[in-house]
Structure 1
Amino acid sequence: MDAIRGVIRKMFPAKTLKQVIGQNVSISQQMIERIELWGAMYRGQGPWVDDQVDSLQIEQGICREFANVCLNEMESSISNEQLDKIYQAAIRELNENLQVGIGFGSFCIKPLGGSAVEYVTADRFVPIAFDARGRLTSVVFIQVKRISEDNFYLRFEFHEWNQDLTLRIQNKAYHTSNPISIGSPVELSVVDEWAGLPDDVMYQGVERPDFGYYRNPIKNEVDGSFCGVSIYDSAINLIKKTDVQFGRLDWEFESGERAVHVDVTALQPTPAISGGKSKLVLPKLNKRLYRGLNISKSNGEELYEEYSPEFRDQSIINGLNAYLRRIEFNVSLSYGDLSDVNDVDKTATEAKIAKKRKYNMVKAIQSNLEDCLEDLVYALAFYNGMTRSGYEFLCTFKDSILVDEEEERQQDRNDVAMGVMRLEEYRAKWYGETLEEAAKNLPEVAAVEE
């Protein structure tokens, strides 16, 4: 898969794409390079990762959290029973693909016939045109068929939907032995699985694009286009600093391992008898604990020196948590989603603001996802001959985690009235006090209880 991604990246220059497609594309070279960076980071291969710095895979953690919260208790269905079965099968793997889409900034869901669909990440399609509200209307999907080390077949599948309700689909195939060259045009039939695909076909009366397109609800400051932006784009440098900081923590434990420095004379072979024969053997010492050095002790001094430095781990951990909290702020997560929840030194007001920030981002993601699924449903109906079936698409997001502040406060009041929450707990939560302060500040009539 990495080799195939490499081929796509090398043939992705905007100038080359324009030559193949025959028209301008809605993606810049700068955007192509940023998508490549987001993808590398998602796979734990950020440019700063090396022998000393490992990736904490924060990127996947961010995407997984948003996808899980967004899809938690999502209810979507189609009134037409047959079409609903097709749809439910099509979205079976929605969660894992939404995670990747949030990381790459966007993804497409392309019907393949029946209930089969393909989730296409942003590094495997080229946006051609968007409508006024940012919905993708024309796109080229790229498929790479690798036959051997230097033998590739490339297929460009061009979908163009227009406001006059026409849909045009074109397929072009190329063969190349050099990954940095797009190669020469060939017939689709040279690859068995492409033999039945049309070179050029036009459909009339198509009301929507024949695929679902999702993009993150984040303004594109990379090139100003409607191309989706990764959820962690604004935290790239912070993620780098966090990975490096964890490398420091790892080194602190490794370099601070307890050890005993032993003079080499104490490690000299000594005579031993085994099986009636005399031979020289080394003392049985723990290789991890004992380190042989030329200490050059004399005058009866000890031949051993203990090495047990004081760990500085807490200050490094504090710095790590500071970075994680800043990442949470930048990507609109709540405090404690990534950082140590016991180390989140925030007031109740700040915590509520952070929760509201996450709530707003999740609702925006859900709104864009609903648009994507609505277009997908139409595409499934189109390819299964059900656009005239009178179907209705229903989609609701009843997420119990995303409770509005006033609803949460009212629920806490109900819990107090039921006796399952103490008054001082309520005050501590909503007035930003400690439990001790809250208990002291309770009204006298409420404080006197048997």
Structure 2
Amino acid sequence: MVNQLTNITDDPRISIASDEYDRIAVAKHYYRDDLGKVKYKNSYGRQQSRDLMSINVTKTAARRLSSIIFNEQCTVTIKDDQANDLVNAVFESNDFYNQYEEKLEEAIALGGGAIRPYVDNGEIKLAWINASQFYPLHSNKNEIDEAAIASQTTVTENGSNAYYTLLEFHQWNDDGSYHITNELYRSDSASSVGVQVPLDSLDEYKGLQPEVTLTGLKSPLFAYFKTPGANNKRLDSPLGLGLVDNSKKIIDAINQTHDSFFWEVKMGQRRVVVPAEMLRPGASYGNDEVDQLRPPVFDDDENVFVQMYGDDEMKITDLTTPIRNDQYQQAMDFFLSEFENSIGLSQGTFTSTPSGIQTATEVVSNNSMTYQTRSSYLTQVDKQIKSLVVAILELMECGGLFDDGKARWSGDPEGVDINIDFADGVFTDKTTQFTQDSQAVTMGVMPKKRFLMRNFSLDEEQADQWLAELNEEQPEQDSNSFEETGNPVGDDDVGAE
């Protein structure tokens, strides 16, 4: 029997509803700012079309969120030194810290995404999977531990395009082993997955095994990121929602307002009505133009004059209409404010507030919506990165995947202690932190070394050096003054007047 699919969700192993991917397809159009044409009738009643003069607020908002959630200063450390060195070597070779922020932007816009580590020529590589490529095999679980991953390739064959789709199924067997199935499909149409063909039909998949079974694994070999919040579009779906899914009408209102304002500016150019005789062109004789009757009064290049026929008493009249920029600005601010609320950003992110642009200190002290939203996203980011670390360590234990047949690491991947420092510089009020930590030192609940490391960005060795120099400079009887008062200069200056 020939295996043939129209849609990937037609495969019986995939139980998630196809309309979830229709929703993701709409989100992709908004993220690309591919919103089609605007149809209208001109002054003669003829149907016309033009590009929508839109603002890509989906891209802007996703970019803003990803930049405040994650940055390249993030560090991942593992208490197991060998595992720490191996994992960070993988991150460095794959430019993970720079790539993650960019891929996180896509995941926020579309509702989710995944990272899959794999072995290639003896090295572990990272494959980035967007929401439209990731298909959970079970839709009734909070944790996704089985999935199909789709990769599309377009090639030219005999002068026409052929579309290939590789489906990679990750499943658990009853005996606890981990089973990966690779299937390749070919179609002449981009709208159909097509018929299953041998894996070596494409050069890039030659040597790829149709089936691989791995033993000893406890976690899936992929790490999924889901945007925070419930999926109110389909309650039984484990997939997250993108920025567009609950904000589509607001985004449409923003784009319509901006489009209308653009055309008001275009149609609001200066227009003057003049008698037709004033614009009568001259007659041409040979290569020379000779004025006939009355010469043109205005420059030929001007496009702001309109002829008026049949009115002998017609005078030059200015028909220019004022542009309603204040009204459009108020309407735009209103819809942008609604968009900020809808996606969980503070007022003033895209619009100006009465108090102006907020500082990082104000963001923290006001417990702003952006700060809360960031915390929700960070929970999911933390979960994905830790799952990725575990998946990488799981791969390193599978010696059979490497050319020399030797495992790179041995241990319990799920038992390692993983710490992620997100470098919260933007959302950390350094002055408040310094004051609170000084009080903690005074109360005796924070060591001096930790105070120095936390507030002066010192490593442990540098902090020890600072403390040694401090002890050398201060009299022996004042050596505990910093511990007791949190004041590096000692007791003599405390309360001095």
Q: Normalising to structure 1: TM-score of the pair? A: 0.76
Give the conservation status (yes or no) of the 8 Å contact 1:155–1:173.
yes
Q: 1:323 to 1:342 in 2, by over 3 A?
A: same
SS in 2 for 1:230: coil
Query: Which residue of structure 2 lines up, in the alignment, with residue 87 of structure 1?
Result: 91
Please give the per-residue CA displacement for 1:221-258, whole angstroms capped at 9, x wherever unaligned: 11111111113422111111111011121122122222
Query: Which residue of structure 2 lines up, in the alignment, with residue 399 of structure 1?
Result: 424
Give the conservation status (yes or no) of the 8 Å contact 1:153–1:173.
yes
The CA distance in 2 between the partners of 1:306 and 1:409, in whole Å, is: 65
SS in 2 for 1:401: helix
Query: Which residue of structure 2 lines up, in the alignment, with residue 57 of structure 1?
Result: 56
Is 2:150 the partner of 1:142?
A: yes
Q: 1:271 to 1:200 in 2, by over 3 A?
A: closer
The CA distance in 2 between the partners of 1:404 and 1:339, in whole Å, is: 23
Is 2:343 the partner of 1:331?
A: yes
Give the conservation status (yes or no) of the 8 Å contact 1:165–1:208.
no
**Superposed displacement of residue 99, structure 1:** 0.3
Give the conservation status (yes or no) of the 8 Å contact 1:11–1:179.
no
- What amino acid is aligned across from residue 11 of structure 2 in structure 1? L
Please give the per-residue CA displacement for 1:129-167, whole angstroms capped at 9, x wherever unaligned: 3685x2321111112222233422222111124696521
The percentage of aligned residue pairs carrying the same residue is 19
Give the conservation status (yes or no) of the 8 Å contact 1:107–1:121.
yes
Please give the per-residue CA displacement for 1:55-84, whole angstroms capped at 9, x wherever unaligned: 210001111111000014433245432331
- What amino acid is aligned across from residue 305 of structure 1 in structure 2? T
Q: 1:396 to 1:174 in 2, by over 3 A?
A: same
Q: 1:221 to 1:354 in 2, by over 3 A?
A: farther
- What amino acid is aligned across from residue 99 of structure 1 in structure 2? E
Q: 1:272 to 1:315 in 2, by over 3 A?
A: same
The CA distance in 2 between the partners of 1:232 and 1:407, in whole Å, is: 37
SS in 1 for 2:299: coil
SS in 2 for 1:170: strand
The CA distance in 1 between the partners of 2:135 and 2:162, in whole Å, is: 23
Is 2:410 the partner of 1:388?
A: yes
Is 2:194 the partner of 1:183?
A: yes
Q: 1:400 to 1:314 in 2, by over 3 A?
A: same
> Gapped runs of 5+ residues in structure 2?
40-49, 397-406, 437-497
Is 2:26 the partner of 1:37?
A: yes
**Superposed displacement of residue 105, structure 1:** 0.4
Query: Which residue of structure 1 lines up, in the alignment, with residue 68 of structure 2?
Result: 69
Number of corresponding residues:
390
SS in 2 for 1:233: coil
The CA distance in 1 between the partners of 2:411 and 2:302, in whole Å, is: 73
Query: Which residue of structure 2 lines up, in the alignment, with residue 12 of structure 1?
Result: 7
SS in 2 for 1:314: helix
**Aligned 1:291-330 pairs, distance under 5 A:** 291-298=305-312, 302=315, 304-330=316-342
- What amino acid is aligned across from residue 254 of structure 1 in structure 2? K
**Superposed displacement of residue 186, structure 1:** 1.6
The CA distance in 1 between the partners of 2:124 and 2:8, in whole Å, is: 34
Ranked by relative contact order (alpha carbons within 8 Å, sequence separation 6 or more), the top structure is 1
Aligned mate of 2:110, from 104, 110, 113: 104
Query: Which residue of structure 2 lines up, in the alignment, with residue 241 of structure 1?
Result: 253
The CA distance in 1 between the partners of 2:174 and 2:376, in whole Å, is: 26
Give the conservation status (yes or no) of the 8 Å contact 2:278–2:296.
no
Query: Which residue of structure 2 lines up, in the alignment, with residue 445 of structure 1?
Result: none
Question: Which shows bigger deviation, 224-233 or 74-83?
Answer: 74-83
**Superposed displacement of residue 282, structure 1:** 5.6
The CA distance in 2 between the partners of 1:361 and 1:47, in whole Å, is: 31
The CA distance in 1 between the partners of 2:151 and 2:92, in whole Å, is: 26
The CA distance in 2 between the partners of 1:163 and 1:229, in whole Å, is: 32
> Gapped runs of 5+ residues in structure 1?
1-9, 412-450
- What amino acid is aligned across from residue 113 of structure 2 in structure 1? F
Aligned mate of 1:118, from 127, 131, 151: 127
The CA distance in 2 between the partners of 1:258 and 1:218, in whole Å, is: 51
Give the conservation status (yes or no) of the 8 Å contact 1:170–1:200.
yes
Query: Which residue of structure 1 lines up, in the alignment, with residue 443 of structure 2?
Result: none
Please give the per-residue CA displacement for 1:415-449, whole angstroms capped at 9, x wherever unaligned: xxxxxxxxxxxxxxxxxxxxxxxxxxxxxxxxxxx
SS in 1 for 2:246: helix
- What amino acid is aligned across from residue 65 of structure 2 in structure 1? F
Aligned mate of 1:260, from 266, 272, 284: 272
Q: 1:120 to 1:288 in 2, by over 3 A?
A: farther
SS in 2 for 1:214: strand
CA RMSD of aligned residues (A): 3.4
Please give the per-residue CA displacement for 1:94-140, whole angstroms capped at 9, x wherever unaligned: 111100001110101112432432211111121113685x2321111
The CA distance in 2 between the partners of 1:330 and 1:409, in whole Å, is: 35
The CA distance in 1 between the partners of 2:174 and 2:214, in whole Å, is: 13
